[in-house]
Structure 1
Amino acid sequence: MRFFHHFLTQCYPHHPLKQEEIWTHEIPCIAHNHEFLMHAILGFAASELGRTRAEGSVVAAAMNHRVKAIRALKKRLAEASSARLTHEEANALVATCFVLTFQSVSLDDGLAEYMTFIRGILIVGMQMAFRGIKPVFETLLDDKQNELLAPLMEGMPLIERGWVDGAVEAIAKLRPLCVDEIEVEYHGQLLAIAETLYTSSFDGNIQGQLEGAIILLHTHWIALAQIMAFITERERDVREKHPSPEDDRMDPGFVRWLKYLNARVDGEHQMYNRWPIWVDGQLDQDLTFFGRRS
């Protein structure tokens, strides 16, 4: 009960934008009907509690609920092509993917699962569109999120040029290491985002075993997201309500992934990873160096 209450009052997801009432009313009302959603909610809330309370039992409960949520989610998705998908269940599935995505940020090695559940949101969302099922999240599959942010982005200054120069130079140097098609595509997208920051902060805004170029691309992606922190702060301004903070400590969020992955860059590739290490170093000294993260 403590976990469920914490979710309702403190740690419901802030995406999709301006959907706080959905997260604190509609989603909790259907959670008891769907095992995957209930376990996802309890696991995420336990992870957030574990961040502020050093209780081993809370951390264990967080992972236990997460495992159960993922197991139940996989089982239902495997049946999705043949079994009838109701309006309530479809929305429960997409909500589960959102909650598991947010919890992934709390895990040192959660990047792969973060990307998996982002993909899950898109897959379930497309299935809903194909079947004519209306999402309970009104801004799920359209451009409304950009429309909500646009007024807050008007007149926003460009990111400090030196930071962008460092990002572009470091990412460009990774190109010779990218051999596979997916690596080349990943690199191209990452470089394009960084180069866009020279002219527009808003247009540059982004939301298994890893090795070689892929790890480097990941470290540069996460580092790039850090220098854009003051842009993503604007998402908080869109929210219609905010949880009342129980303490003033900030969650490092993606930064824990940066540190985790930086440590896994082998000696052969360290020369390509100097910029992400520099970004991590600035954040070690001051977590708000590039902007406050909520």
Structure 2
Amino acid sequence: MSRFDQEEMDDPNFWLVSGDIPSRTVSPGSGSSLDHAKPRRRPIPRKGHTKSRKGCYSCKKRKIKCQEGVPECYHCAKAGLVCVYPVTEKTLALAVPRPGLQSTPTTFTMQDLRYFHHFLVGAYPHLPVKGDDIWKNRVAQISHSYDFLMHSMLALAASHLSLFGDEDRGSAALSHRVAAINSLNASLSQPCQDGAESDARFATIMALTFQSRYIPDGMKDFLTMIRGCTVVAQTAMLPFEESSFGSFTHEGHVSTIASLIQMDIVVSLDGDGWKNAIDSLRDLRPLVQTPFEQQYLAALENALQLAKTAPIDAYTTFTMLYVSPADISHEEFLRFLEPQNTTGQLLLAHFFALEILLGPILWFELQHRNEMLSVLRQISFHWVEKMCVGLPESHQSFARWPLEYSIMWRRSLVSNKSSFIEVVDS
């Protein structure tokens, strides 16, 4: 179980992407019982203000008194934050069950239909392994009922087409991404109604996570969205094991991979790259300070050591690093991702470089989706090189291995034009 603060876990919006995506305010629907809040007592002199027990999540998180205004409180309106109130027993009693179909369906274009078709034939996430039917049947069947799900599918398909096609569809991809996030954000302010909505919420955050993996400057969003998957699974849906994605726990995923991995694949690991990576990780030891950084580095070293003799254990250890940031506080997570945090940047640069090195083991999960391998590698090259060149001169020596290894691999793909896709900042 992740170690989120309870109040942070209750707030469904803290993990959503900020970055370059414009924020939009989501407020409780009109007619809520909050519209007629009881008059508040006057504060007792020299006792400070009375505590707001019905305040919004943002004010609680910032530890300031919420004015409880609707549709948004004064502090959120002033700071440009999303204002979402806790759902009370009274509002739950007044809640009207939502129909399966939207009463005012969103209008989609013919181009959107192309994106939808492309999602089904080749752009849907490759996880869960052997989970194609989940995306092509279950998710597709319920997508018309949930705006956030449909927009996330179209966003992922547009980003996928931008990489594999002749046209830049970044504008459409971003537009659908913003719409998906805003619509999902609104949905998360209400309790989950049924299994279909559970599946829709998790499928949406999964699609947005995979879209982040296709964005050249999307590393922070990618890691944030992975964290979001944990939050949604734990706090915003019915019991996860009862959902269509119920087998997609880390244990279930590793069990599936273990049945596919063959021991003889270890011979294809880059021997020189493996030894140089071991030395480079050892050089990072004096730099790590926080318990999380120490655990992260230890896991990288352990995965690398296991790769030669126990590929399944190496896979298990390494893939846990994708979800390990869900075990730290939101503030520590943000500090870990800060570009000014040189230790965090070095750890992440080594992580994505090792993703390339351990490819013969890690990419086993792609199975028949081999066309994605080149793209995922090249996005990793881009992220590694961008982090390494952005480090101060005093830390450049610690980044030598991931930078040189990434450049070597990228050049080898450039020589094979058929498998190379140019990656540039958006």
TM-score, structure 1 normalization: 0.85
Count, aligned residues: 281
Partner secondary structure for residue 271 of structure 1: helix
Structure showing greater relative contact order (alpha-carbon pairs closer than 8 Å, 6 or more residues apart): 1
8 Å Cα contact 2:273/2:405 also seen in 1 = no
CA RMSD of aligned residues (A): 2.7
**Structure 1 position 184, deviation (Å):** 2.2
Give the aligned partner of residue 210 of structure 1: 339
C-alpha contact 2:195 2:238 (8 A) present in aligned 1: no
Partner of 1:25: 137
**CA contact 1:222–1:258 (8 Å) conserved in 2:** yes
Distance 1:132 1:204 in 2: 26
Deviations 1:213-254 (A, max 9, x none): 1110010000011011111232233x6xx59x6xx9931232
1:22-61 map, 5 Å: 22-56=134-168, 58-61=169-172
Q: Is the 8 A contact 1:156 1:201 kept in 2?
A: no
2:374 to 241, 250, 259: 250
Q: Of 93, 96, 117, which aligns to 2:225?
A: 117
Q: Pairwise mapping of residues 169-188 of structure 1 onto structure 2 (< 5 A)?
A: 169-188=279-298
- Identify the range of structure 1 (208-217 vs 24-33) with the bigger mean alpha-carbon deviation: 208-217
1:1-294 to 2 correspondences below 5 Å:
1-56=113-168, 58-77=169-188, 79-80=189-190, 83-127=191-235, 131=239, 134-141=242-249, 143-158=251-266, 159-205=269-315, 206-207=318-319, 209-211=338-340, 212-237=342-367, 250-251=374-375, 252-287=378-413
Q: Cα distance 1:132–1:281, how it changes in 2: closer, same or farther (>3 A)?
A: closer
Q: Which structure: larger Rg?
A: 2
Q: Percent identity?
A: 27
The separation in 1 between residues aligned to 2:285 and 2:373, in whole angstroms, is 38
The question of whether the paired residues in 2 share the 8 Å contact of 1:17 and 1:139 is answered with: no
In 2, Cα distance between equivalents of 1:178 and 1:285: 31
- Tell me the TM-score normalized by structure 2: 0.60
Distance 1:156 1:128, change over 3 A: farther
Partners of 1:179 and 1:132 lie apart in 2 by 35
Change (3 A) 1:22 1:288: farther
CA-CA distance at 1:32 after TM superposition:
1.7
* Distance of 2:184 and 2:134 partners within structure 1: 21
Task: Give structure 1 regions of 4+ aligned residues with deviation exceeding 6 angstroms.
Answer: none
